[in-house]
Amino acid sequence: MATLRLGDTAPDFTADSSMGTINLYEYLGDSWGILFSHPADFTPVCTTELGTASNFKGEFDKRNVKMLALSVDGADSHREWIKDINEVQETTVNFPIIADEDKKVSHLYDMIHPRVNSTFTVRSVFIIAPDKTVKLTLTYPASTGRNFYELLRVVDSLQLTANHKVATPANWKNGEDVVVSPAIPTPQAKEIFSKGVNEIKPYLRMTPDPTK
């Protein structure tokens, strides 16, 4: 399959997991989703990531985001790996890990990069909106663990900008000022954003977070 691009529909699938059979669309329902892949079970960086992800689940829950991991090993292997993760990360893995031994899902989501490894998945992240479109893709090298604070920040930005005519600037954090959409003339922007519009340049206008 061709590489998934932003705005594409996330492919549906049904697969075994550490928590039984999962159908992606049924699992997500009307929620947002985050799907992140791992090259194999019992790998060191991914062990830290899944433990961290478990500790962040409450924050994703607050944002109506359902978590889903994937590895090319089987469900029984996942369940044994989870015991290690829970022990060394002092947590409880509380979301499914998809078993993808036949690499069906890996190929659907273009997670096999032969120039890196022809067998294992790369470490990708997909954020999926309630309409099942892909809103973010990230691929990390095996040597670099994922930053879950950044993934939460992106979710906050995506959810804010989905409902308001704004964008979020560099290093933005939830609650900080946002950028007024360039498509809105400044007089109209001042009507829309009652908290005020700061015109730094004609093309760069800032306004307080409209949800706060």
Catalytic residue among 22, 24, 35, 46: 46
d(CA 85, CA 192): 48
Distance CA 193, CA 134 (A): 28
Comparing CA positions, the residue from 6, 5, 10 lying closest to residue 35 is 10
- Angstrom distances, CA of residue 71 to CA of 2, 52, 95, 132: 20, 17, 13, 21
CA proximity to 209, closest of 170, 171, 165: 165
Report the distance separating Cα 65 and Cα 156, nearest Å. Answer: 11
Whether 25 sits among the annotated catalytic residues: the reply is no
Name the nearest CA neighbour of 17 among 127, 93, 91.
93
Among residues 152, 136, 2, 149, which one has the least CA distance to residue 64? 152
Buried b / exposed e over 61-87, threshold 16 CB at 10 Å, is eeeebbbbbbbbbebebbbebbeebbe
- Annotated catalytic residues are 46
